[in-house]
Chains A and B, each alone.
Chain A
Amino acid sequence: MTTVPTVDAMTTASRTARHPSTLATLWRSTVGKKAVMAVSGLAMLLYLVAHMLGNLKVFFGPDDINGYAAWLRTIGQPFLGHEWFLWIARVGLLAAVVLHGVAAFQLSRRDLAARPSKYAHQRRRASYATRTMRWGGVILALFIVWHILDLTTLTVNPAAEHGRPYQNIVASFGNWYSCVIYIVAMLAVGLHVRHGFWSAAQTLGANNARRDRLLKLTANGLALLLTAGFLSVPVAVMTGVVK
């Protein structure tokens, strides 16, 4: 035992000599990289809650949601210019998606390499939400691209009326394949958040034995709320409630 601290004192000395920055240390370790995933994931989650609530304005008619969309472009004025806030949010979200995706990719590769051979006796492991985080994440990434082409740039939108999201939404969900894409993606969001929210609490060290149940319940509640809220819009268009 007496030799152990000596060896450690040597390695510690050489480590401090290198002085890696806090961020570099975090990004290099599995625990730190996972924390980056958790923080970027929670940032996107916060955005999704606001986005979902905003979408519900479609039920109050074209003027309501179109006016809301116009207002979004004026946030922060006159301190910020027209659409500045929107662009700041977009840059932040892009950073979150990229950090989240890159960390997910790098950690997943490492995880797969750490378990190279499978057991001959296979058992079903973990919950569906937990097992689908990787592929669910890929579905979400593809969806984000489609969603921007559909309702932001309006490239693939049948109506493509600038500044009139109500008309664009109704037009988009007039296509059955658009509805399928949104429904699949929103189910994927629900599953991702169901595991992700609790997992992020665990990753950031916010979980403990007393809070575990409450955090899992909150994760389920958030997942249900997001999925139901987002899905209400395509369902309303499909059933003619919104037209």
Chain B
Amino acid sequence: MNLTLRIWRQAGPDTPGSMTTYQVGGISPDMSFLEMLDTLNEELILRGDAPVAFDHDCREGICGACGMVINGRAHGPERTTTCQLHMRHFEDGDTIDVEPWRAAAFPVVKDLVVDRSAFDRIIGAGGYITAPTGSAPDAHATPVPKEAADTAFEHAECIGCGACVAACPNGSAMLFTSAKVVHLNVLPQGGPERASRVMNMVEAMDAEGFGGCTNTGECATACPKGIPLPSIAAMNREYLRSSLRGGR
């Protein structure tokens, strides 16, 4: 396949960037989108140009590092991560636009790389449980109802890639935060910090400069892990419950 790529190039956090056009040939439909970018980068290096910087790690859809906006969609046309997106979903001769996540809370570091550490700080505000360390607890020492286990698992699938923020017209992190809050708040292990968790995580989310939710639903459509939109309602319920009971 031969492709025209329009890629956001930006040398550093404080330098202005622009969309730059590249031609790339010899692309196999079986390549992943990242392998296609690798091919381009090899050519750029041979030419003596700076390669396109992009984040990636596992390349198997579980680490959440590889976010980029492809043709206006977070992670591109398929509901998966960019590393798991294959070139067979494009046509020979296509022009493809590739841009970094856009949000005030995710500043561009270079080219397609953004700083997502705001997510880490939200997790640090409550995305954990307090448990005695040391010997492993007995299996089934704490019974977990089946429905709670299913809900927790569904939300634990969030890989923190940031597609929800990138897709949201308000750069909101509500879907991410709700995945983390709901995951732990439905479990007995998360019980002791149920109120403080949601209060502190929402406060951290607001402090990072993410926007609010207008229930547009773009986040859930973009989520490669299928975190559902009603999760935000579940987090709102936890938040209102906690604050009306006097919080934390």
- Chain A residues closer than 8 Å to B32, beta-carbon distance: none
B10, chain A: closest CB distance, angstroms: 11
B203 adjacent to A29 (CB under 8 Å): yes
Q: Which B residues fall within an 8 A CB radius of A?
A: 6, 8, 19, 69, 71-73, 97, 99, 102-105, 124-126, 128, 130, 133, 168-172, 196, 199-200, 202-203, 205-206, 209-218, 228-230, 232-241, 243-244, 246-248
How many A-B pairs fall under 8 Å by CB?
159
Q: Which A residues fall within an 8 A CB radius of B?
A: 1-2, 4-5, 7-8, 11-12, 15-16, 22, 25-26, 28-35, 107, 110-123, 125-126, 130, 133, 195, 198-199, 201-209, 212
A121 adjacent to B97 (CB under 8 Å): yes
A12 adjacent to B248 (CB under 8 Å): yes
C-alpha spacing A11/B8, complex, angstroms: 39
A129, chain B: closest CB distance, angstroms: 11
- Chain B residues closer than 8 Å to A34, beta-carbon distance: 212-213, 236
A115 adjacent to B168 (CB under 8 Å): yes
Chain A interface SS verdict (over half): helix
B230 adjacent to A208 (CB under 8 Å): yes
B225, chain A: closest CB distance, angstroms: 16
Query: If A110-B212, A120-B19 touch, does A202 touch B105 (CB 8 Å cutoff)?
Result: no
A120 adjacent to B8 (CB under 8 Å): yes
A111 adjacent to B212 (CB under 8 Å): yes
B189, chain A: closest CB distance, angstroms: 14
**Residue of chain A at shortest CB distance from B70:** A121
B66, chain A: closest CB distance, angstroms: 18
- Residue from the set B6, B124, B216, B229 with the largest chain A CB neighbour count within 10 Å: B216
**Residue of chain B at shortest CB distance from A211:** B230
